[in-house]
Structure 1
Amino acid sequence: MPNSQHLLNEHGELTRRYFLGLSAAAVAGLGIGEAGAAPAPRQQEALTRLEYLTHSENFRNFGRGNPPPHTLPADKRREVGMDRETWQLEVVPDPETDAKVDSPLSRERGTALTWNDLMALAREHAVCYLHVMTCLNVADPCGMGLWEGVPLRVVVWKARPVGNIRRVFYHGYHNDDPKQLFQSSLPFGRVLEDPPGEPPVILCYKLNGQWLSPERGGPVRMLVPDAYGFKSVKWLNRVVLSNLFHANDTYAGGNNDIDTWLKTFARFLSYPKTARAGQPLPVTGLAQVGIAGLSAVQAWLHPAGAPLPADDPYLTKGDWKPAELLGPPAQWGGGLPEGKLPLGFDPKTGKPKEWPMRFALAHWAALLPGVPAGTYALRCRTIDVAGHAQPMPRPFPKSGQNPVHRVQVQIEG
């Protein structure tokens, strides 16, 4: 179960409205009150903190560096370009291949992109979109944000690439120690053109309407919307255009699939660890919406000692019950100021054009039928838009953690 309290706070009102929408008989004894009743003090406290977007300081943090670059003193960050006044970005050809670039953006030439240059481009080209940040090797999302930046291709074109380019690799500040280098890469085509319906790769400088903090990768990080967090390199300062035919990500050395897309999966956020026999069980959770989209969430309560369906490693034959996918929140939160609507939102209504949105989080809830006394395994899973049940069609952890989430519930007589 995710241990970040902010996710619970973001989740509470949506699920409370769901349960209050059920019949009085269905919600009797659940402790959530009658429809229209004032919430209990603990519920009210959670509602006042309710937000869908994660505040910058509340993201679960993963990173590298000794020391971690964001912990450097302010004067050192200014010295190494981790400050808006001193930041520069190089876009150069790979010297080890025959990539052809007519006007490299480089420190040596005095043509590197500066913060002021980026802000000038932002006045015409800035975009923002919702994106859930998730670590490839961790089953819970790190946080959900509204990210703003300039499409990488806009800056790449300023370097005037000519030919012999197949790969773009990039890295950020790494304490000037080659052993600490953390590098990721993308196909050149993904930088230049977005798949239908997908946002662009961006040079990101804002999170939830605020300048990107050093801890979140500021002043500028890469943001790859369809990928896990290792592609969205922090403290970005160098982009290399290469004729290399294969990826050369640092993560590849860790036996990871570095060409994977975000997966769709469900996780529990709240469930009764104990309940009375015959009492309906309210369960709620979140779902990460990956490249495959999301059409449904299901839950299954199974006696812990009973055998599972034979020859069914991914539990496709379980007695899965439908959960309710909840709509977008009324309040987005996260310290978000008024301003430009994200990609995928209707400018007339200010609401998402579709829900759930890919590469974002959705919330869900279910009221499961009561069961006899005993110990039970409670599971949840997603169904994507093609009908694949989690963890399919990509069940292997090297391409992202998406096991069926399992918790234990004790039913007392």
Structure 2
Amino acid sequence: MLLHAAAAYDAKGSIDALWLLVAAALVLLMTPGVAFFYGGMVKAKSVISMMMMSFGAMALVGVLWVLYGYGMVFGTPLIPHWLGDPFSAMGLQNLVGGKGGPDLGGLAFAGFQATFAIITVALISGAIADRAKFGSWMIFAGVWVTLVYFPVAYWVFNLQDGWAPALGVNDFAGGTAVHINAGAAGLALALVLGKRVGFQKGFGKPHNVPLTLLGAALLWFGWFGFNAGSEAAVDGIAALAWINTLAAPAAATLGWLIVEKIKDGKPTAIGAASGAVAGLVAITPACNILTPGWALLLGVLAGAVCALAIDLKFKLGFDDSLDVVGIHLVGGLLGTLYIGIFGTGIGLIDTGSFKQLGVQALAAFGVMIYSFVAAWIIGTVIQKTIGFRITNEDEVAGVDTFVHGEEGYALETV
């Protein structure tokens, strides 16, 4: 009987690990999805630069995660509740060198979490499209992920010691650690690098709409791994997260298109893609704790609110090229705070208490302020030393040729 129970447990553990490995691959696919999504929206002369910032993040953050990032997020506490010891899991040796051989579940989880670090950095790049040096971006990415993402991920994702879980914050898949974090950093960098040449409303139309739609499709596909995989098990919560990851972005697409039709007269393909992503962002922290009906409402709100929020950059005068602030920061805040009202068993509607809303707000605004300040300092130091932004002349001539010596569309005539 005991042997049978042990075998059943091992089988369940193997299935859960398999799901994590599959989910990790889905989430990793999201970063090329970001590259396509962003790449289609920039100038034709900037598409390589835009996509390379995502691929650069995959390379650099992947290396740093294996070297010390996993230890900073899930290693032995260095500063209890705040930070792990980077030397406690260097090279993931603790997961491969045990007596029983490689740790299947531990390695699967480490791989899954690595993809979160990668995509968070890649998301920031959309705020500085058309005007950033690749080398400076890579330096920023390495410093920011070390000083900001890894500590914040410890706060939020380390369920044993992070301060956010200890307070009862519900952030299932990264509304704070991923989207608010990236959105705040994107705002800081947009301010540091300044506006593009000729920036105004209607400036910089997408050069390849199908490319952006392809990117949105890859993001939505990969997001099922992002959200449902965060349960780290094959169970009812994973299934609920999956359904909500279908419902919210579908409703958000409609919400965005309705606002766009009322505001501008025409529903656009870029609006549909952006609405889907806004809904995905908003449902990320809440996909485990909302019924599908409340997920639909969140989606409609996210699509409508983010469709309006993207115009803030023109009213407030900051050039967030691809609406990282309007979609990821605003959508992340909306989804995180929404839990405090509509979260099953913990929100205001079910409990009559504002307590959950308070702890959700503390985590959301705490991460936002920390990320913004740190990104602004890191970006400013880079800009004042080696330079972060290319010259206006090179921007007009084309970032791809100046930075990479390539063209996205090199058409030859015979």
TM-score, normalized by the shorter chain, greater than 0.5: no
TM-score, scaled to structure 1: 0.23
Which one has a bigger Cα radius of gyration?
A: 1
Q: Write 1 or 2 for the structure with the bigger share of strand.
A: 1
Higher relative contact order (CA 8 A, sep 6+): 2
